[in-house]
Amino acid sequence: MAGTMIVMKFGGTSVGSVEAIKQVVEIVGNYREHGLSVVLSAMSKVTDALRAMAATACGGTEPTEALEALRKRHEETVCAVAEGDERKRALEDCAGLIDELSGILHGITLLRELSPRSADLVSSFGERLSVIVVSAALRSAGLSSIPVDAREYVKTNERYTEAEVNFAETDRRLSEGLAPMVSDGRIPIITGFLGSTDEGVTTTLGRGASDYTASLVGGALHAGEIWIWTDVDGAMTADPRIVGDARVLEEISYLEAAEMSYFGAKVLHPMTMLPAVKQEIPIRIRNTFRPGNNGTVISPRTRAAPLGVKAVTSIDRLCLIVVEGTSLSRTPDTHARLFKTTAERKTQVVMITQASSEHDICLAVDERDSPGTVQALKEEFRHEVAEGSLEEISVQSDLAVVAVVGGGMKGTPGIAARTFGILGEHGINIIAIAQGSSELNISFIVERKDLQKTVQLVHASFGLGGDGGFERN
């Protein structure tokens, strides 16, 4: 594969300690002849820490200790991974960033006000610090690398904390800005997760979105492959924290990967596939700590699993909002008003089900979005509720969604029967069910308390544990 350019992304754990960064240096060194671009996350848990600091400041207390801990962690890491002038320069750059952050937190403390816009600015420091630390380590090892601030290249709208990318402009900027560096044999070390508006205001692309940055870079540079280095061996048949014998999937399709990540497989951000699909750039998921393993390759087509199902994924902490009444079938614009209301609040509706009588519609939403969405729907439909054409809007909490995913499900009969049969035998109550017309997944809602058992049972019933008919990685 020599000569094909690779974009590599290293996640939080992969840059989260001195040992991990040494691994990164070794991996980058091993593949340098391909022409590389590297995208980084913040060091592990740093984004959470920054968000907590912003919240503390907003409450009127300056988060002095947390800021000191952040400074210390980055300085100590620089001292352990970089030498001489590289160390000196990186220490100065980190100190400069920490001082800037300190000033911003001071401002938030005085104002006791934290807008999504300021929250994004605070969050941006994690990636801005990690690229300094890792490029210093790479340069100390003789690898010519340059820290790159993605805010100059990734242009977005003003939807702070979940900004949407302007593809055409971003593509142009990334290819004009980065291609010359790569062809000169330098390695750009790019902040994942970050973007900026047309006015240059900092935005972020959503939690876990460094994967997405990597595929934006891969698409713009027409990379041969995009490699996501993380802390597990690849995309697995289930979340390994829930299912002890979950297995690594050797290959999955873009569609399967998108479906799995949308329904909770945190290993990949759901938007990652988008920039890669058009040019059919393979995405590989690999383990930084076991670089000898092949990992998972995501590409246009793959073999189907023996029973049609490849993975069982889940999203915890959901609520089900139920809108019910004759207005749904009799008044044609009720649905439009319902979704206009959720869209205006930017509520992400994870799943929708409707009974064929058109008498009720259920929306599964994140529990944090639920109170505001219910309030907005109550206001929108107050006349219908008062006149009795809609029931009072109700909410069921402490739920989770489980999704059974696989390209081979299309045309394989009996998948729903197997799934619901096993759950019935174990007395697990299914609250709502949805199946997309693509037949790539069946998703259903259970109570939170049943989540773990449900995933384990369904995973086992499709023979996904053990060697499940696949070769092992």
Residue 192 binds which of ligand ADP, Mg ion, ligand ASP, none (CB < 5-8 A, kind-dependent):
ligand ASP
State which residue, 16 or 35, has the beta carbon closest to ligand ADP.
16
Judge contact between 446 and 432, C-beta under 8 A: no
Using rule CB under 6 A, residue 207 touches ligand ADP: no
CB of 228 to ligand ADP, least distance (A): 7
Cα–chain-centroid distance for residue 192? 12
Using rule CB under 6 A, residue 47 touches ligand ASP: yes
**What is the DSSP secondary-structure string of 134-191?**
HHHHHHHTT--EEEE-GGGT-BB-S-TTSPPB-HHHHHHHHHHHHHHHHHTT-EEEEE
Using rule CB under 5 A, residue 208 touches Mg ion: yes
Among 208, 270, 408, 468, binds ligand ADP (CB under 6 A): 208
State which residue, 42 or 323, has the beta carbon closest to ligand ASP.
42
Among 190, 232, 255, 400, binds ligand ADP (CB under 6 A): 232
Q: Which of the stretches 40-48, 162-170, 223-231, 343-351 binds ligand ASP when contact is defined by CB under 6 A?
A: 40-48
Token output for 368:
């944090």
Using rule CB under 6 A, residue 202 touches ligand ASP: no
State which residue, 11 or 270, has the beta carbon closest to ligand ASP.
11
CB of 271 to ligand ASP, least distance (A): 11
Q: How far apart are CA 388 and CA 263, in angstroms?
A: 36
Helices (H), 302-333: 327-330
HSE-up of residue 338 (Cα within 13 Å, Cβ side): 21
CB of 197 to Mg ion, least distance (A): 24
In order of 35, 119, 243, the CA distances from 115 in angstroms are 40, 6, 39
Q: Which of the stretches 156-164, 235-243, 329-337, 357-365 binds ligand ADP when contact is defined by CB under 6 A?
A: 235-243
Using rule CB under 6 A, residue 192 touches ligand ASP: yes
State which residue, 272 or 342, has the beta carbon closest to ligand ASP.
272
State which residue, 47 or 314, has the beta carbon closest to ligand ASP.
47
Strand pairing category for 187-191 and 311-324:
unpaired
Among 54, 57, 165, 235, binds ligand ADP (CB under 6 A): 235
Using rule CB under 6 A, residue 21 touches ligand ASP: no
State which residue, 63 or 126, has the beta carbon closest to ligand ASP.
126
Q: How far apart are CA 41 and CA 44, in angstroms?
A: 8
State which residue, 41 or 373, has the beta carbon closest to ligand ASP.
41
Among 6, 7, 8, 12, binds ligand ADP (CB under 6 A): 12
Judge contact between 146 and 129, C-beta under 8 A: no
Place of tokens 């340059």: 146
Judge contact between 160 and 116, C-beta under 8 A: yes
Residue 193 binds which of ligand ADP, Mg ion, ligand ASP, none (CB < 5-8 A, kind-dependent):
ligand ASP
Judge contact between 254 and 238, C-beta under 8 A: no
Using rule CB under 6 A, residue 239 touches ligand ADP: yes
Among 37, 202, 210, 215, binds ligand ASP (CB under 6 A): 210
Among 16, 208, 264, 295, binds ligand ASP (CB under 6 A): 208
Using rule CB under 6 A, residue 41 touches ligand ASP: yes
Residue 240 binds which of Mg ion, ligand ASP, ligand ADP, none (CB < 5-8 A, kind-dependent):
ligand ADP
Q: How far apart are CA 296 and CA 233, in angstroms?
A: 8
Cα–chain-centroid distance for residue 219? 18
State which residue, 39 or 57, has the beta carbon closest to ligand ADP.
39
Angle, alpha carbons 439-443-448 (nearest 5°)? 170
Total residues at interface with Mg ion (CB under 5 A): 2
Judge contact between 170 and 216, C-beta under 8 A: yes
Among 32, 34, 51, 207, binds ligand ASP (CB under 6 A): 207
Q: How far apart are CA 60 and CA 47, in angstroms?
A: 20
What are the b/e assignments for 242-272, b being 16+ CB within 10 Å? bbeebbbbbbbbbbbbbbbbbbbbebbbbbb
What part of residues 269-328 is at the interface with ligand ADP (CB under 6 A)? Answer: 311, 313
Give Cβ neighbours of residue 198 (< 8 Å, ≥ 6 apart). Answer: 155
CB of 208 to Mg ion, least distance (A): 4
Q: Which of the stretches 125-133, 189-197, 200-208, 318-326 binds Mg ion when contact is defined by CB under 5 A?
A: 200-208
Number of neighbouring beta carbons within 10 Å of residue 304: 18
Angle, alpha carbons 130-235-32 (nearest 5°)? 45
Q: How far apart are CA 395 and CA 136, in angstroms?
A: 52
Binding site for Mg ion (CB under 5 A): 11, 208
Point out which residues bind ligand ASP (CB under 6 A).
11-12, 41-42, 47, 126, 192-193, 207-210
Q: Which residue ranges make up the site for ligand ADP (CB under 6 A)? A: 11-14, 41, 208, 230-232, 235-236, 238-241, 265-267, 311, 313
